[in-house]
Every structure is written in C-alpha cells, then in structure tokens.
Amino acid sequence: MTRWSIGDLAKASGLTVRTLHHYDEIGLVVASERTTSGHRRYTPDDVRRLYQVRSLRQLGLSLDEVRSALSRSDSLRPIFQAQLAALTAQAQQVEALRSRLTALLDGHTTESLLSTLEMMSVHESYFTADQLTDLRSRAAALGPEAVEALKASWLELVKQLRQHMADGTPATDPRVVELSRQWDALGARFTGGDAAIQAAAQRSWDENKASISAQIGWPADDGLVDYVTQARAAQ
C-alpha cells in the first residue's frame, strides 16, 4: 500500500479532507495520481510534501509563504527570520493588550469601564503615542489615589466655575481668575506642563466638544471653557 486515499491521509495527518482538497485546488499539495474514476491517490512523495507543509503551517506561515519556502530550500532561513520578527512584533502587541486589559479590570468598577475606554479612545486620536506614554507614566507616578483626588478637585473646580457663570460673575472677577489659575495648575499636573500636549488637548477639545460632553458628566458646549479662557486672559 504505497498510495494513500485522501481520507486515510487526513486521519494520519490530522487535517481534514476539505483542507487536502483545498491544498490540491491551489496546487500546494497535489495528489500525483488519480484512480480511473477520479479518486485521489497520494504517493509517498506527496505525503512527504504534505508533512512539510503542515510543519511550516504550524510555525504560523501563510500558505503562500509555505509555497515559496518549499520552492527553494535556500529561502527557508530568510522566511523563518521574517516570521520570527513578525511573531516578536505580535507578541509585543498581545502583551500591550494584555496589560491594558489587566489594568482596566484591576482598577475600575464596571460602570466606569466604558467611559474610561471611550476617553482613552478619543484621546488616542489627538495625542501621539509618545505623548500618551507620557501621560500614562505620569498617572502611574502619581498613583491611582492621587489621580482620583485630581479628578475630584477637577469636578469641584468645575462646579464652582459653573456656579459663577450661572450667577453672572464676570470672567475678570478675581475669584474667577483664581479658579482659572487652579484650572491650569490642575491641567499641568496631568500634562506635566508640556505645551505640545496641552495644544493637542485643546485641539481635541475644539473638535470633540459634542462627543466628549457626555462622558465627563457636564455639557461641553455651555461656554465653560470659553469662560475660563477669558479668565485666563485676565491672569
């Protein structure tokens, strides 16, 4: 029995009949012989080739890569090296995702998960990767409680400012100017005083008012930012 039927070969190799059909279709592993009625007969050479294909596939190569790897044996080493580089990159990406997920799961309540994600997502459109790394490391350096404290101060600040707005206090009022100074100081704690990051935040703000408003809990287009801008001018 030196010829294999497709079913026996499928069992022996652990692949499916459909997969062998597919390899035959695309000419990757073709049954060298056929019975008169058209049934595939795999020769030992075909079987050898199939096992080579299977092992290369198990290393994560695409069928096209497998094909060219088998076409000339001297192309194996560069292909392997490329594959190793690709796998290394993939490993890094997977690790990055994993750490983000673990951080999210560890540090947040269920309700805050989505809004946190949304903020991250929005921000990533406007900050460069380096800037984000910066922001994150700063947040990490401060520690989670400090970050929470900052957020609380922020909300308190916003509350007072809106109260002044509602009261009709002019933006040039010393109390408002003082609040705007605190606003900027708080912002600097987040941005590290980096002008580029502040500019990116400003740009993000200008272009995303509407969509950001909901997630931070107060209407974004009620003129608060403009009010602070005016007050800042009077500093």
DSSP 223: S
Separation CA 64–CA 87 (nearest Å): 17
Q: Does 47 bind DNA (CB under 7 A)?
A: no
CB 179 within 8 A of CB 231: yes
Closest CA to 20 of 58, 63, 70: 63
Q: Which residues have a Cβ under 8 Å from the Cβ of 138 and sit 6 or more positions away?
A: 190, 192
Q: 8 or 207, CB closer to DNA?
A: 8
Q: Is 3 in the site for DNA (CB under 7 A)?
A: no
Q: How far apart are CA 186 and CA 97, in angstroms?
A: 29
Q: What is the largest CA-CA distance in the chain?
A: 98
**Which residue, chain included where needed, has tokens 């408002």?**
176
Looking at beta carbons only, is 47 or 150 nearer to a copy of itself? Answer: 47
Nearer to DNA by Cβ, of 64 and 178: the residue is 64
Contact positions with DNA (CB under 7 A) in 50-89: 57, 62-64
Q: How many Cα neighbours within 13 Å face the side chain of 22?
A: 8
32 binds a copy of itself (CB under 8 A): no
Tell which one of 19, 153, 208, 213 touches DNA (CB under 7 A): 19
- Residues within the interface to DNA (CB under 7 A): 5-8, 10, 16-19, 21-22, 31, 35-40, 57, 62-64
- Residues within the interface to a copy of itself (CB under 8 A): 1-2, 12-14, 44-45, 47-48, 51-52, 54-56, 58-60, 70, 73-74, 76-77, 80-81, 83-84, 87-88, 90-91, 94-95, 97-98, 100-102, 104-105, 110-111, 113-114, 117-118, 120-122, 124-125, 207-208, 210-211, 213-215
